[in-house]
Amino acid sequence: MQTKTIKAFCVTVMLVAFVFCHAQKQIPLYENKIPNSKPASNRERKEANEQVDTLVYRVSIPDLTVFQPPPDKANGTAVIICPGGGYHVLLFKREGSDIAKALAEHGVTAFVLKYRLPDEEIMVDKAIGPLQDAQQAIRIVREGAARWGINPRRIGMMGFSAGGHLAATAGTHFGKAYVNHPEQISLRPDFLLLINPVISMTDSIGHVGSRNCLLGANPPSEQIRLFSNELHINAQTPPTFLVHAVTDEVVPVENSLSFYQALRKYHVAVGLHIYAKGEHGFLSAPPFKEWFGRCIYWMEAQNLLQR
């Protein structure tokens, strides 16, 4: 009888841990009117995809999905995840909820940001729409830190490809608020995790597809410069981890290298890992445990996983 009781207790504990680790709640990014928006119907749609499972198109109503770790694992660190997709679509599962669950296993409270995709039909200025959503996400997480058991000085951003550009933009343009925040809470991420990121909008190394979606086909030079994040690094830029593959044929590895070199110039803590082989998005190589493990190792080295 005692053995059965112990087994039942263990099963209960495992179920509770599973529920906590995969618990999720969706939060609207804006309570009232969405800034910089035009009146339009919600045209968002999801599409199944064999490689990445779920694609989300035409996002016009942004939100955050919260993934909380089990209470006995929670360490107070939070990561806001920006899925990639060339500012045209969001890889919401592979580069969103899957990553959030993996971070939660390490005690991190993860937030998947479903940011607006640039579109002149729904935005007054499509170039700043995603950045507004990123800043609003930081504001919400930092304001609600006590509610989620988060250290307000340990809130980072993680981004993939174009989502990496968005995270890097939030990490280099926090000095100007693109959203209303009368409480003047800091909009600076405390650290960045950038996975094969688009960094630059320049002709030499930028990703043309992301630039066209964000800025248009023929953006003025000042706008290209504004959103080329390697040109806006200073001593206050957050500590950063970058990972990329030399053989990335979509986003050149020089994007990560240029960001790394600029961070080094200003003595900002930075880690960089470059793989000799691997395609964009790491769809088959390197394996998830390999590159994600290096992110975790860097976070541990930065004392971000201590309770």
Q: What confidence score (pLDDT) does residue 9 get?
A: 43
Q: What mean pLDDT value characterizes the chain?
A: 93
**Number of independent structural domains in the chain:** 1
> What pLDDT digit, counting tens, does each position of 42-51 carry?
999 999 998 8
- Is 152 within the bounds of a domain? yes
pLDDT at site 40: 92
pTM: 0.92
- Alpha-helical (H) ranges within 249-287 are 254-265
Task: At 89, list the tokens.
Answer: 């679509």
Q: Is the pLDDT of residue 107 over 70?
A: yes
Checking if the pLDDT of 144 tops 60, the result is yes
* CATH code of the domain covering residue 265: 3.40.50.1820
Q: Is residue 306 assigned to a domain?
A: no
* Residue 86 maps to a domain: yes
Helix (H, G, I), strand (E, B) or coil at 161: coil
Q: Residue 233 pLDDT > 50, yes or no?
A: yes
270: in domain = yes
Residue 37 covered by a domain = yes
Of the listed ranges 181-185, 258-262, 281-285, the one predicted with least confidence? 181-185
CA distances to 7, 118, 286 from 280, in Å: 45, 22, 10
Q: Is residue 307 part of a domain?
A: no
CB atoms < 10 A from the CB of 280, how many?
18
Note the pLDDT tens digit of each residue in 63-102: 999 999 999 999 999 999 999 999 999 999 999 999 999 9
Instruction: Please tell me which residue, 27 or 8, carries the higher pLDDT value.
Output: 27
Which residues constitute the domain of residue 287? 2-301
Domain-located, residue 207? yes
pLDDT, residue 46, reads: 95
In the predicted structure, residue 16 carries a pLDDT above the cut 90: no
The predicted-structure confidence for 168-217, as pLDDT tens digits, reads as follows: 999 999 999 999 988 899 999 999 999 999 999 999 999 999 999 999 99
* pLDDT given for residue 170 in this prediction: 98
Residue 278 lies in a domain: yes
Q: Is 185 within 8 Å of 166 (Cβ atoms)?
A: no
Residue 182 has a pLDDT of 87
Asked if residue 300 has pLDDT above 70, the reply is yes
pLDDT for the residue numbered 24: 77
